[in-house]
Chains A and B, each alone.
Chain A
Amino acid sequence: MSDYREPTYAEVNRDILRTLLETGSRYWIVFGITATIAIVCFYIPWIYQWHVGLGASGQSRSDVWGTYLSNFIFWIGLSHSGTLLSAVLHITRSGWRKAIYRSAEAMTLFSLMTAAFFVLIHLGRVWFVHWSVPVPNQMGLWPNFRSPLLFDVMAITTYLTASSIFIYMGSVPDYAAVRDASTGLRRRLYTIFSFGWRGTAREWHTLGWAYTFFAVFVIPLAVSVHSIVSWDFAMSLVPGLHHTIFAPYFVCGAIYSGTAGIVTVMYLLRRCLNLERYIREIHLDNLGKLLIALSLIWAYINILELFTGWYSGSSFQYEALTYKLFGYYAPLYWEMILFCAFIPQLIFWKKIRSSWNIMFVISILINIGMLTERFLIVSTSLPRKFLPNAFGFYFPSLVEISITIGSFALFATLFLIFIKWTPCVSIYEVKETLKPLRRVE
C-alpha cells in the first residue's frame, strides 16, 4: 500500500483543498443523518428532561450521579490526545505528526464541546449554571473556590480556549491557501479567517514562535484537566473512588482513549476523503506503538487499584471491590479488561499494527472499553458507599441512553462541519515533509 508516489506541492494543495471545495451527495446524506440523530436523540430528550426534572434519568437516592457524568469523563478523555499529542510531537520535532495533527486537534475541540454539554445536562437547575463562574455581582456572591467542581469549570474552559486558539493558529496559513483557491463569498470569508496572511518570512517566524509557545502552554494544561476531573471523584469519601491513584489513572486512560480515537478518525478520513497519500502506514505504526505503551500503563494502574482495595483492610473497600468485580456489572468489568488490557496486546505484532482494518476495529473496541470503564466508575461505587440501608442500584433510563447515543451523533456532526471549514490535513506542514523538487538558484 505504500507505493504511492510522493505528491508534488501543487498536488498537496489540490488534494487537500478538494476536500473542502468539492462536496458530494454522500457528504450531505451522512451529514443529514448525523444531524437528525443529534437533534432527535440528544436535544429533544434533553429538553424533555429540562421540563420534567432530572427524574427523567435513572439516577436515584444513593446513585445520584449517572451516565451524564460518566459520559462527561469519556468525552473529556477522548479530547485528551489530540492537542496533547500534537503539542508533544511538535516540541520533540517528530515529523510524522504533520499529516495527522489537525484532525486530532479538531477531535479535541469537538469532544470537549460535547463534554461541556454533558455538564449542562447533568445539572439539576441548568438555568443557573452561570453561578459557578466567578462573575462579580451586585450581591457579592462568589463561587466556592475550594470545590473540585469549580477547579473543573476553570480547567475545562481554559483548556477549551487554549486548544481552540492552538488549532486556529496552526490553520492560518491553510486558510490563506483556501482563500487563494476560492472565489466569491468564501474568498471574502477566508480573507478574514486568515488575517490577511501573505506568507512573508516575518509572518512565518512569528507563527513558528507563537505555535511553539502554545504547544508548551497546552501540555501541562492537558495533564491538569483530567487530573482535576478525577478529583471530582477522588476527593470524596466514597470507598471505590477515594484513591490517590485516580489522577494519573484518569490522565493515562484519557490519553489512551484519545489515541484510539485518533486511529478511528484517521481511518475514516483516509477512507472517505481519499487521503491515502498523506495519512500513511508510518502514522498507524507510531500510533500503534503508543497504544501498546498506554494499554500497559492502564492495565498496571488497574491492577494497582485492585491491590489498594484489597490491602486496605477496610470492609467498605472490600464491598466496593467485590461489587465491581463480581456484582451485577461484573460482565461489563471483564469486558473492559478484555477490550482495554488484552486485545491491544495484539498490536505487538507488526502485521496487525500495519493493517488499517484491524487497527480500526481495535481502536473502536478500546473506546468501548473506556466508555464502560467510566460508566463503572459511577455505577459501581456510588450505590455501595457506607450504610447498607442506603445501598442502591443504578441503571440508565431511556433518556440517558438516548442522550449517550445522540452525543456521538453530535460529535460527528460537529466534525463534519469542521472538515468542510478547515483543511483536515495541514497543507503547509505536509509540504515541509516533502523532498524539495528543484531549488531555484
Chain B
Amino acid sequence: MGKMRDKLKQYLKPGYYEKYDYHWGMTIDLDRCTGCEACVVACQAENNLPIVGEKRFKERREIKWLRVERYWEGEYPNIKLRFIPMLCQHCDQAPCETPCPVAATYHNQDGLNTQIYNRCIGTRTCAVYCPYEVRYFNWFTYKWDEPLEQQLNPDVTVREKGVMEKCTFCIQRIRQAKDHAKDDGRRRVRDGEVTPACVQSCPTKAMVFGDLNDPNSRVSKMYKNPRGYKVLEELNTLPKIVYLKKADSDV
C-alpha cells in the first residue's frame, strides 16, 4: 500500500526533464543572421529532405524543416528587411503532441519533441495545432533522381507519402554523441559535442545549440542575454528556442 502511495506521488510530480540528463535548446542571434540560408541547405542535405520541384513549391508543398522567414518593415525609402529562421521550437508544452490520435509525436527524455514516421497515419492535426507552422506533410512520395540518391544520409529514414515530418534537432547526431560519450566512459556529452547541421553550417555563428541543464554551457549563458525573446511566447507553449533581438542603430 505504501509502495503504491509512493508511486502515485511520483506520478503526480513527474519532473521528467529534471530527472534526465539533457534538455536541449538553441539560441539564434538575429543580429548575426544575414539570411544566407546556408542552414536551410544544410538541413536539406542532412535530413534527407526531398526536393519537391518548382511546381510543388508554388503549391506551397515544399518541405523545409528550417525556413528563413523574410519580413519587410516600413514603407519605401525607410524600408528594412528582417530575417528570422523558423524551425521546430521543441516546445515543452507542445500543442502538437496532445491531438495525435496514435501518439506519433511525443516528448522524449531529452526534452525533444519527436515525430515517429512509422506510427503517423496522416491526420495532419499536429500541423493545424502548431502555431509556428513548422510541421511539413509529405503530400506525395518523392523520388531522388539518379545520382542524387547517393547523397542520402544513411542515418536518417526516407519518408513516404502521407507522413508528417519536422525538425528533430538532428537527433541522429545527438544519439551519436551520446554513444561516443558512453564509449569514452563519460556519463554526459560535453558542451559543443553535438551540433545540428544548421548550427554547423552557419557562417556567422548566429546559432548556438546545447544542453540547458548544464548551467555552464554556451547556450545556457546565451539564454540569459537581455536581448532574448521567444516567438509567440504568449501562447504558453514554452518554446525552447530563444531569439536574440536585432540591435538597431537608429532606434
Contacts and interface: CB of A to CB of B under 8 A. Distances in A.
B103 interface: yes
A137 to B, nearest CB: 12
A55 B122 contact: no
Interface in B110-150: 119-125, 127-129, 131-133, 136-141
Given A61-B133, A128-B121, 16 more contacts: A52-B140, A60-B59, A60-B61, A61-B136, A123-B121, A124-B161, A143-B102, A153-B101, A232-B99, A236-B128, A238-B129, A382-B128, A385-B131, A387-B131, A389-B67, A392-B60
Contact of B61 (A61, A129, A388): A61
Nearest to A62: B133
Interface in B197-251: 231-232, 235, 237
For the complex of A and B, 4 pairs with smallest distance between CB atoms: A124-B122, A124-B162, A55-B139, A53-B161
B39 to A, nearest CB: 16
B124 A144 contact: no
B123 A144 contact: no
Interface string A370-402: 000000000000100111111010000000000
A142 B131 contact: no
B51 to A, nearest CB: 15
Contacts of A237: 95, 129, 131, 235, 237
Contacts of A123: 121-123, 162
B70 interface: yes
12 contacts: A53-B141, A54-B162, A61-B62, A61-B133, A123-B162, A124-B121, A131-B119, A131-B121, A147-B98, A149-B125, A232-B125, A387-B131
A64 interface: yes
Contact of A386 (B131, B136, B162, B163): B131
A385 B133 contact: yes
Q: Which residue, B98, B122, B235, B237, has most C-beta atoms of chain A within 10 A?
A: B122
Contact of A64 (B100, B137, B231): B137
Contacts of B95: 236-237
A132 interface: yes
A144 B101 contact: yes
B123 A55 contact: no
B86 interface: yes
Nearest to A238: B128
Interface string B87-104: 000000001001111110
A322 B131 CA distance: 19
B11 interface: no
B125 A143 contact: no
A146 interface: yes
Interface string A305-347: 0000000000000000000000000000000000000000000
Contacts of A390: 69, 133
A150 interface: yes
Given A60-B59, A237-B129, A124 B136 contact: no
A125 B122 contact: yes
Nearest to B133: A390
A386 B84 CA distance: 14
A382 B100 CA distance: 18
B232 to A, nearest CB: 6
A125 B160 CA distance: 10
Interface string A24-53: 000000000000000000000000000011
B76 interface: no
A124 to B, nearest CB: 2
B121 A125 contact: yes
A202 B146 CA distance: 77
A146 B101 CA distance: 8
B140 A236 contact: no
A53 B140 contact: yes
Nearest to A53: B161
B124 A124 contact: yes
A153 B100 CA distance: 12
Contacts of A187: none
Q: Which residue, A60, A61, A146, has most C-beta atoms of chain B within 10 A?
A: A61
B137 A54 contact: yes
A126 B62 CA distance: 22
A7 interface: no
B129 A236 contact: yes
B131 A55 contact: no
Given A124-B161, A148-B99, A387-B132, A129 B121 contact: yes
A356 interface: no
A320 B7 CA distance: 46
Contacts of B71: 388-389
Q: Which residue, B59, B60, B62, B231, has most C-beta atoms of chain A within 10 A?
A: B60
Contacts of B132: 386-387
A235 interface: yes
Contact of A124 (B70, B119, B137): B137
B235 A132 contact: no
A57 to B, nearest CB: 8
Q: Which residue, B59, B71, B121, B232, has most C-beta atoms of chain A within 10 A?
A: B121
A65 interface: yes
Contact of B60 (A60, A131, A238, A386): A60
A150 B140 contact: no
B226 to A, nearest CB: 24
A122 interface: yes
Contacts of A149: 99-101, 123, 125
Contact of B163 (A125, A147, A385, A388): A125
Contacts of A388: 71
Contacts of A389: 67, 69-71, 86
Contacts of A385: 131, 133
B62 to A, nearest CB: 7
A122 B123 contact: yes
A176 B67 CA distance: 67
Contacts of B60: 60-62, 392
A122 B59 CA distance: 19
Contact of A125 (B133, B162, B237): B162
A53 B164 CA distance: 13
Contacts of B120: 124-125
Contact of B98 (A55, A128, A146): A146
